[in-house]
Chain A
Amino acid sequence: MGLLSQGSPLSWEETQRHADHVRRHGILQFLHIYHAVKDRHKDVLKWGDEVEYMLVSFDHENKKVQLVLSGEEVLETLQEKGERTNPNHPTLWRPEYGSYMIEGTPGQPYGGTMSEFNTVEDNMRKRRQEATSLLGDNQAVCTITSFPRLGCPGFTLPEFRPRPVEGGASKSLFFPDEAINKHPRFSTLTRNIRHRRGEKVVINVPIFKDKNTPSPFIETFPEDDEAAKAAKPDHIYMDAMGFGMGNCCLQVTFQACSISEARYLYDQLATICPIVMALSAASPFYRGYVSDIDCRWGVISASVDDRTREERGLEPLKNNSYRISKSRYDSIDSYLSECGEKYNDLDLTIDREIYGHLLQEGIDHLLAQHVAHLFIRDPLTLFEEKIHLDDANESDHFENIQSTNWQTMRFKPPPPNSDIGWRVEFRPMEVQLTDFENSAYVVFVVLLTRVILSYKLDFLIPLSKVDENMKVAQKRDAVLRGRFYFRKDICKGGSAVVDGCGKAAGAEPAAEEYALMTIDTIINGKEGVFPGLIPILNSYLENMEVDVDTRCSILNYLKLIKKRASGELMTVARWMREFIAKHPDYKQDSVITDKINYSLLLKCNQIANELCECPELLGPAFRKVKYSGSKTDPSN
């Protein structure tokens, strides 16, 4: 989750004193990069996925499952045996927020040929095996988005009691600081967010009201004033960064051929974020309760919301400069391509001085306002040794602000003095249980970028509508029940250049450009209404040379997406809900006990390791189909 530096982290007060310094030099660093590489073009497609894992331990005797706080040691061994021994090692491992988490990526980025799509799942499987091989008995790596009993008593191994004291990082009633990664960046981030905000973070997730759920559902926290005030009735209350950043997700980054292609794809994919998020919904449970949401997004958003009361509009501005409408972790606030300009209908808070400076230096309005918007934020961590930098050859200050703006999309300038091009990161997806599903979502998104570029598609709608979609997408069963604003005519037809906007440029967007659609319509199409993303993907694939093995994999991937969209298959969230509803220990009271959690995670782990089938989630015996033909072990 961003930049890692070794060294001595500064306190919030000291960090704040350097905030303007970091911003000023961050901008200089960005300008150096921009001027050096703004004309880069003809970069090839390279892309990669990032999968986050949780380390879990099963206590079969007591029917309990816990998160193992050994991420740091596991990571050290993975890196030592992997990338540090062999620069061509097929996997790369990085730390994550939770001490029970690790992040894995392919060792080398994938390239632009079709057959690379057939190596993704194999690489993910390698990662799972590699990490699993280092674990103790009864331990496993799980790709689950949120651990159902995160923050419940004894949820970690070893167990720790939370100590809600001012000197700690989270000051949480539920989430012990020991569950945070031991690298100082993570606890410093946690503490500084809390200090900047002036109080603990507040996360209230609506509870799912089952037959026996108390109504109103009220939790009391007599020993904690902040909690007593912040907790809302009928909501699951959480009070720590770990409840958000301690979740896992699935991301894809790809290199565009030029800056303008990167800006075009950034915008186009921004509209796809809520759709794919709802399709990937996998996190219905929080702090031991069944919630009424299916996606983690809003939880993480609240878990790192460092805005002060003034910035949130609860008090008149006195010490702060702006009202800020969103958390640092939220959907994007402005489009970057020329075609996007007329759909930029959100009030954009920007740092005026930075904006002016960027314009002066020859940056165009759209990019300048994007950067000036990111830079309204303060740096959250700063290391004593890393204050004074060489702005022409380093980018830490720019990355400091950039990488703590956790938005649905990220526009990534090349690192200084590297041969990497302009990149775009797609960040809304929830991680799935199996390597097959994760590959399916990743391949779907990367194929979609190829289709957008080939057919010059245009999905843009006003950003305020994308934001409405984001809200709908997180609700329970949004994939089937939600209606999403989507552009009706997605074919720009004929405008040959990536950043040309066709004839309609400048005109006010007409209301009838978009309509409310179901995800089924958006993904699978509906006669006379919308062509559907999968039919367009298929048409693209028919024009590409694809070998039979790769085509078979892609066929199975798209079948999964198609059936999740139509409701023929369940999302992970829906499947988990039904699993616990049927559990003999469940009392229809929205409570997930240790035993229920144990059964659920055991089942998840069996599915992930292909020890049992799960047709309602993955389709009927899809493995058999896949392996009965020519598809053999890729190593032979």
Chain B
Amino acid sequence: MRHIISILLENEPGALSRVVGLFSQRHYNIESLTVAPTEDRTLSRLTITTIGDDRKIEQITKHLNKLIDVVKLVDLTEGAHIERELMLVKVKAAGAQRAEIKRTTDIFRGQIVDVTSTVYSIQLTGTSDKLDSFLDAIGNSSVLEVARTGVTGISRGEKVLSL
């Protein structure tokens, strides 16, 4: 099963490499990874999506917790949560295609953020599934380039991940 693990990490040199290293060292899988400092500049927030059965996920969270630089973590998929990913995608848009792509972008509530006579650059936010569906709808043959940020997330309601 796919899990989204959010981590508060000391904003220290090398801290990220300890997390990433743990995954490769123990043969865990990283589907996506996002990281940036939080409102408290001494902390980074890191979000990892990974795939594994309950036993594996338990080991992953235990080993992450053992890393000295990891301050706190939560498996967002254990409860109600919001996940978002941002994608920038460059597609061929010439002739009749232009209107069709514009319409599809609107349906997915994306925005065309750059235009040339033959190319649209589209920005789209949503769950990873939604971004996948958009790419399916546009069709592989039209897609020139894709840049995705990876998933970030937050739990629903009053629960917070903070110190």
Question: Is B one of A's binding partners?
Answer: no
